[in-house]
Amino acid sequence: MQLEPTEEQRLIQRTAREFAERRLAPSAAARDRDGRFPVEELRELGQLGLLGVNVPEDLGGGAAGVIAYSLALQELAKVDASVAVAVSVTNMVAELIAAVGTPAQRTAYVPGLVSGAAVAGAFALSEPQAGSDPAGMRTIATKVDGGWRLSGTKQWITSGDRAGVLVVWAMTDLAAGHKGITAFLVRGGAPGLTVGRLEEKMGLHGSSTAQLVLDGVEVGDDAVLGGVGGGFRLAMMALDGGRIGIASQALGIARGALEAAYRYAGEREQFGVTLWKHQAIGNMLADAATWLDAGLLLTLRAASLKEAGQRFSTEAAMAKLYATEKAGTICDIALQVHGGYGYTTDFPVERAYRDVRVTRIYEGTSEIQRLVIARSLLARMEK
């Protein structure tokens, strides 16, 4: 496994860091307070090549690989997790279309995603009654002359109200269970596609989370992505990669909170000495630093396997499980080090504490990650 970034990976990481510090940091707190979606910021990230880090060059991407993508996402999340999650989903949608789309689909959709022209991509899989169990979805795709008519409701869709391109999953054969799921490409603003509501969330206020209603949305046969009945496989493939993205996001949030705790512990005095010199505080920060590095290594392992074209599903599940669970603990420690100040909006650890919580839920809950890992271990034992 590669432990040290290459020069190209360092360049992409540095580009993301500089953009985050220059462009995102000054307005991150205001974006959280006002709930402003980062339209212009995403377009600028597209111009920098950060919306398609692992997308082929002939489609406008950087083809820099999964490790570079992970490092870049960590830098963005360290400053503003709301922007990072929009970047993560857009990359995921662009990668999926680039990997399995027809030449016409690749040309029609991917360049707009990676350039920022489409603003964002959306992954419309979850439904009010079908989150961790996609086979329970109720959205129906009915065959019509020359295409399909989509009807149903999607829930918890990141950037769903802003996305220029959406991958929408629907049942094309109710009797076939998960083998009856098909993925469709839908343009944002398509007739019949409306926003049911925007969720008011605990964190990630700068990222919109939409309920989408599809009321007879019509698409052509050329909108089918990956073949009729092949949608479940595509969803699982995309989610495996997406888990590397969410692990990276969690690590970035935790690193930002921990570095804030370092600074505060070095400045704040209690009983005549800085907090760093109190053993209880030092032990907390030592544990947090160790967990952060362990999470990074697990995430880089999964990214390395994916980049090498090897199986990485179990490793991605381990990375997401560990990184998100420990990131939550790290943010809690960072807030505790700040004492009462950490509970106020005057310090960024309060926002980190709220933002990191959802990383244990989306792209597969911690419970689902444990299920994936346990099944993998059982399969190995039975061989």
363 is catalytic: yes
For strands 165-171 and 121-124, give the pairing. Answer: parallel
* Terminal Cα distance for the chain, rounded: 25
Instruction: Tell me the C-alpha distance between 243 and 231, whole Å.
Output: 18
Q: Cα–chain-centroid distance for residue 199?
A: 17
Task: Give which of 360, 342, 363 is closest to 352, Cα–Cα.
Answer: 342
Contact 316, 306 (CB under 8 A): yes
- Which residues touch 229 (CB under 8 Å, ≥6 apart)? 172, 173, 176, 179, 180, 181, 182
Task: Give which of 181, 129, 161, 324 is closest to 243, Cα–Cα.
Answer: 324
Output the six-digit token pair for 319: 């990375």
Instruction: Tell me the C-alpha distance between 283 and 263, whole Å.
Output: 16
Share of the chain residues as helix, strand and coil, in percent rounded to the nearest 5: 60, 15, 25
Output the six-digit token pair for 43: 């377009």
Instruction: Tell me the C-alpha distance between 110 and 90, whole Å.
Output: 10
CA dihedral defined by 303, 307, 308, 309, rounded to 10 degrees?
100
Residue with tokens 């950490």, as numbered in its chain: 342
Task: Give which of 249, 207, 35, 242 is closest to 125, Cα–Cα.
Answer: 242
Task: Give which of 252, 282, 251, 280 is closest to 266, Cα–Cα.
Answer: 282
Output the six-digit token pair for 108: 């029609």
The catalytic position among 75, 127, 315, 363 is 363
- Helix and strand element counts for the chain (H, E): 11, 10
CA atoms within 13 Å, Cβ hemisphere of 87? 36
Helix (H), strand (E) at residue 297: helix 279-307
- Assign 348 to helix, strand or coil: coil
Catalytic residues: 363
